[in-house]
Structure 1
């Protein structure tokens, strides 16, 4: 891995932007209807536990990248195969997020533009950024973080001032009990977006003050969860349950409804700018983790040389992954969250932590 250092604040910014990513774009937890915001908060609680699991693994092997401690825990062959599977998973997920970006732009503004062109423009920027290393990516995040939050606060104020929010759309709470919400949590929000923070296990070794990684990481996930819950509550409050579930991009529909003093309206560009920035960081972090893991496994001394070929693979997957946006969403809900996420985000980390605990139970255990 490259010799780089990032601060705790930069880690916080990257986690927050990553978690928001494409989650602000799609109708997150819409199957829970008016309780979508609750499903997001419960999913966040599970995400905090999963983050702790990955942090504990980091404490056991603070000087090793995940592919290295996988080999140490499972053996050279099995550990290498598993690490390679994670690299494929990271690239596949990056391609899915890139597809979300392309579909959003085609729907929003570029109706006649080929999907490949739209995705390629963003992917070229991502390739250039990632080739410069994690420090440059972290500093870029610092620059955009304040801008993103300014847009978010401004948008929230404008929605409230426009009088669009109807709190009755959020009632009754838990109309059919806790089980429908729990089903959404264990099939959607636990994994997307909160469980996906496992990708930061590739970045933990770069943090300067490692003892505070847990505190900063948990705080960033909590803040992102609260932000997403508020966003989804606003969407339901403005659009209603049915329209929110049917909308491809509910937040876009909500922002398009803003009209203040009969002149301040059509603020779609705010949504587009925020989404492009967040998706840029989510794809970049997945992409960087895939490159760093590949460099570790194959002992490549200059990981930057991998950016262009691997970037082109992600671009190709993003275009060919589905024939339509509806098929893309269906694959995400029925295949990714039911088969890939439970294995990569929960099963394997818990297995590795259990093995690490048994192997290190007589040695220093670190702090919980």
Structure 2
């Protein structure tokens, strides 16, 4: 069934969120609704938001606070003064930049032993770059077989920018020519579906939803069915924001993964954890818990432009061995950037 919603029927703030109260209620699930957006495109944003040449400039601009924060102090301490680099201060600065205590010690120790011809700064830069997970070229969600959609599950705690991330991903992939379908599998909050509709409306994509309180797994199953029927090649599923300490909700994520496997045998859905870059090491602990529970395949690091401690990127990839897939460096629709390790390190030291 298709239904339209007016803008005055949806929540005013797409980022407002509260903790999920608990498990979905029992009983039979309603038939899914297929929500068609009122218009396509981001008429309030730069129409050239996804031009490849803009990514480097956006990244440098988004890392201004980090460059002016711990990176500025780091480079001062790495200077070749009369006494040489102040290694103790370098270590403390890395820790303050959310790199982590143990890892900072390792970086300093290895950098001191490198004796890089470019000096101490070049040695530390090389050590930081070596922490990032190797990439095999540009990443994109891939389906298990021709004619089947790729599936991306978006997970995380509330308040990290999960819904905004979904909207920006939908817009990016739509601009690249993909047919995207969203699954409103956060059924614990009545406003969650409406919030997702706002972003679907802006991105020009459709949403599969059930009534509040429905089984999230059923929503994802129906979304995959709809994607197959309509020839969509990418399903992005919202999931209820949850604390990593809520075992019942973490179990639900595992159930959704099993449902995807049942509907698309052999599929390997991407599970992206949205991490607020301003939460630092606390966010890293949350990501570890999610990774242990459901097996993350990537990280979306949001609000990186709002922190002066961009070192969390290195801690994430070193501690989890899970690649950062996207970084959020601004509020614009084109400010969710595919993560390029070389470009990131270069922007830090620019």
Bin of the TM-score, shorter chain as denominator length: under 0.3
Determine which structure has greater relative contact order: mean sequence separation of CA pairs < 8 Å that are 6+ residues apart, divided by chain length: 1
Write 1 or 2 for the structure with the bigger share of helix: 1
Greater Rg by CA: 2
Query: Larger strand proportion, structure 1 or 2?
Result: 2
